[in-house]
Amino acid sequence: MQLQRALTPGNKTDFLVEAAQTVSGLLLVGFLWTHMLFVASILLGIQAFDALAHFMERFRLLDLAVIFIILTVATHVGAVLRRIPGRWQEQKIVWKHAAIIRHPDTWSWLFQAVTGSAMLLLIIIHVFVVVYVGIDATLSADRVHSWMLGFYIVLLFLAEYHASVGLYRTLVKWGFVKRHSLKRVLTVITVCTIGLGLLSLWAFYSLGG
Amino acid sequence: MSQRQLTFHIFRYNPEEPDAKPRTQSYVLPEEPGMTLFIALNKIREEQDPTLKFDFVCRAGICGSCGMLINGKPTLACKTLTKDLPDRISLMPLPVFQLLGDLSVDTGTWFRHVSLRTEAWVHTEKRFDPMAEEERMSNDTALAIYEAERCIECGCCIGGCATANIKPGFIGAAGVNRVARFMVDPRDERSDQQYFDVVGSEDGIFGCIGLMACDDNCPIGIPLQGQLAYVRRKMAVAGWKR
Ligand code: SF4
Ligand code: SF4
Ligand code: FES
């Protein structure tokens, strides 16, 4: 026992931060998948998409969603920051470590940090655009006819990858599942959600600019 | 079948020589039937380079002293057959542990520290009565304890763990497994809150980021994912109630 330890007896903050990371992560996965389903309503036609958008705006669900996403993303980022090796020396160690031991799950953790950081930037832009411009099928169609198409494709892949790997890791850590069957299930879900997202983008694209 | 020539790329470094830099040295050896890395390394030392440092004691997967990175994978050299490896074999010492030289590391000091920090002994107020009949325990409990006790402290789960590589205080899967062993033992009278003081932190179970390199690499096949999850759930409940 050392003085500094004796003065700060074992408390539960480490547990609470871990809980915040897990819960916010799960909420974000749920949000992402719901979001992808809503966007996919364009596959049923412009009317369906706009009706859903107007419904969300009328009952202020859009505002709620924006507030929700800002709070949960902030919590998640705040909690996971502690996991990203801060010192340059530590960064070198983990990359070298992953390269030496050639362990796929270790690589996926590093990608998790990279995709997460990239996503943060893209999500901020995405939320800004939605808040300032609103949701409307023709506007979206216009947008995917610009450089924004690439933006959406990249964001789609980053988000689905990050969500699946994060969900996998959470379930494995808390131990409710067999790892290898879980990997298979999540791969299928990821392929499906990415496919759905690409289809939706294609639907917007074919509406013309 | 023609005999293979194996090329070993072995990490060489002597921390006692201040000017020495880590380097890789190559040795070529003809493969023999049933050759393990224990045999191969001893042949290299006997026939080619008496300065090469590495550890073996039991050469039967029991003592846990021969853990090293074999083509990157942390595992026991004495249990590894060369026929399961490609022609080119890279050998490095386990990270995290004090490097004694070449492939030899000191796992003992690390494990002793973890044992002390996790108080890895049965805590009880009961007096031992040598004349009394032994207390009974259900077979399932005994088996659960035995499962965790099989750990040979080889350190493969520690060397392979990214967290342990950057956090010197992290007790790793072996440390958590050790605590799990006492948690299931009815003779240990510690409460969940007392266990929380020991492992309910970033240095314990909440430092684990779930990469499962430990679970993938344990040469003894201890179900580390299950052990980590068991302790995590128990400590989450204890943390919640705190
Ligand atoms: S699961 Fe936890 S203990 Fe095991 S290698 Fe990963 S971080 Fe380390
Ligand atoms: S848990 Fe397995 S890998 Fe870790 S020290 Fe024990 S035997 Fe070795
Ligand atoms: S020499 Fe004892 S485990 Fe390999």
Among A139-148, B23-32, B48-57, B169-178, which is the least confidently predicted range? A139-148
Nearest CA to ligand 2 atom 5: B153
Q: Which residues of A touch B206 (CB under 8 A)?
A: 14-15, 17-18
Report the alpha-carbon distance of residue B142 to residue B149 in Å, rounded: 10
- Residue of B73, B206, B234 to mutate, testing the A interface (most A Cβ within 10 Å of its Cβ): B206
Segment A16-34, tens digit of pLDDT: 999 999 999 999 999 999 9
For the residues of B141-175, what is the DSSP string, one character each? HHHHHHHHHT-----HHHHT-HHHHH-TT--HHHH
- Residue of A12, A82, A170 to mutate, testing the B interface (most B Cβ within 10 Å of its Cβ): A12
Pocket of ligand 3 contains residue B63 by CB under 6 Å:
yes
Per-residue pLDDT at A2 exceeds 80: no
Per-residue pLDDT at B65 exceeds 70: yes
- Answer whether B233's CB lies under 8 Å from B195's CB: no
Question: Is A81 in the B-facing interface, judged by CB distances under 8 Å?
Answer: no
- pLDDT computed for residue B128 by the predictor: 87
Per-residue pLDDT at B8 exceeds 90: yes
Verify whether the Cβ–Cβ distance B209 to A12 is below 8 Å. Answer: no
Per-residue pLDDT at B32 exceeds 90: yes
Pocket of ligand 1 contains residue B163 by CB under 6 Å:
yes
* Ligand 2 centroid – CA B78 distance (Å): 15
Q: Which residues of A88-120 are buried (b: 16+ CB within 10 A; e: fewer)?
A: eeeeebbeebbebbebebbebbbebbebbeebe
- pLDDT computed for residue A3 by the predictor: 85
Q: Which residues of B touch A15 (CB under 8 A)?
A: 200-201, 206, 235-236, 239-240
- pLDDT computed for residue A10 by the predictor: 65
Average pLDDT rounded to a whole number, residues A52-78: 93
Per-residue pLDDT at B203 exceeds 80: yes
The pTM (predicted TM-score) of the whole model is 0.92
- pLDDT computed for residue A8 by the predictor: 76
Both tokens of B25, joined, read 């040295």
Angle at B210 between CA B99 and CA A72, to 5 degrees: 130
Question: What angle, rounded to 10 degrees, do the helices at A104-133 and A61-80 form?
Answer: 150
- pLDDT computed for residue B123 by the predictor: 95
Report the alpha-carbon distance of residue A176 to residue B229 in Å, rounded: 8
Report the alpha-carbon distance of residue B236 to residue B232 in Å, rounded: 6
Report the alpha-carbon distance of residue A23 to residue B144 in Å, rounded: 31
Segment B74-120, tens digit of pLDDT: 999 999 999 999 999 999 999 999 999 999 999 999 999 999 999 99
Considering chain B, what is the average pLDDT of its residues? 95
C-beta atoms surrounding B219 within 10 Å:
20
Residue B2 pLDDT grade (very low, low, confident, very high; cuts 50, 70, 90): confident
- Classify domain B5-105 at the CATH topology level: Ubiquitin-like (UB roll) (3.10.20)
- Answer whether B157's CB lies under 8 Å from B218's CB: yes
A178 versus A25: which is more confidently predicted?
A25
Per-residue pLDDT at A180 exceeds 90: no
- pLDDT computed for residue A150 by the predictor: 94
CATH 1.10.1060.10 is right for the domain spanning B118-241: yes
Pocket of ligand 1 contains residue B212 by CB under 6 Å:
yes
Rounded to whole angstroms, what are the CA distances from B20 to A58, A93, B104? 72, 21, 16
Per-residue pLDDT at A1 exceeds 80: no
CA distance B19 to chain A (A): 21
- pLDDT computed for residue B91 by the predictor: 97
Both tokens of A71, joined, read 């709070």
- pLDDT computed for residue B1 by the predictor: 59
Report the alpha-carbon distance of residue B145 to residue B151 in Å, rounded: 11
Report the alpha-carbon distance of residue A161 to residue B184 in Å, rounded: 37
Average pLDDT rounded to a whole number, residues B176-197: 95
Segment B115-149, tens digit of pLDDT: 999 999 999 999 889 999 988 899 999 999 999 99
10 Å CB burial of residue B132 (0-12, 13-18, 19+) is exposed
Query: What percent of chain B is predicted at pLDDT more than 90?
Result: 91
Nearest CA to ligand 2 atom 1: B174
Report the alpha-carbon distance of residue A33 to residue A160 in Å, rounded: 9
Given CA atoms A52, A54, A59, A63 in this order, what sign does their dihedral have?
positive
- pLDDT computed for residue A209 by the predictor: 66
Question: Is B220 in the A-facing interface, judged by CB distances under 8 Å?
Answer: no
Pocket of ligand 3 contains residue B56 by CB under 6 Å:
yes
Give the start-to-end residue ranges of the domains of chain B. 5-105, 118-241
Report the alpha-carbon distance of residue A39 to residue A53 in Å, rounded: 9
Residue B98 Ramachandran class (φ > 0 left, ψ -120 to 50 alpha, else beta)? beta
**Ligand 1 atom at minimal distance to the Cα of residue A173:** 1
Average pLDDT rounded to a whole number, residues B51-77: 96
Q: Which CATH code for domain A15-206?
A: 1.20.1300.10
Residue A178 pLDDT grade (very low, low, confident, very high; cuts 50, 70, 90): confident
Residues contacting residue B112 through CB under 8 Å, at least 6 positions apart: none
- Answer whether B199's CB lies under 8 Å from B181's CB: no
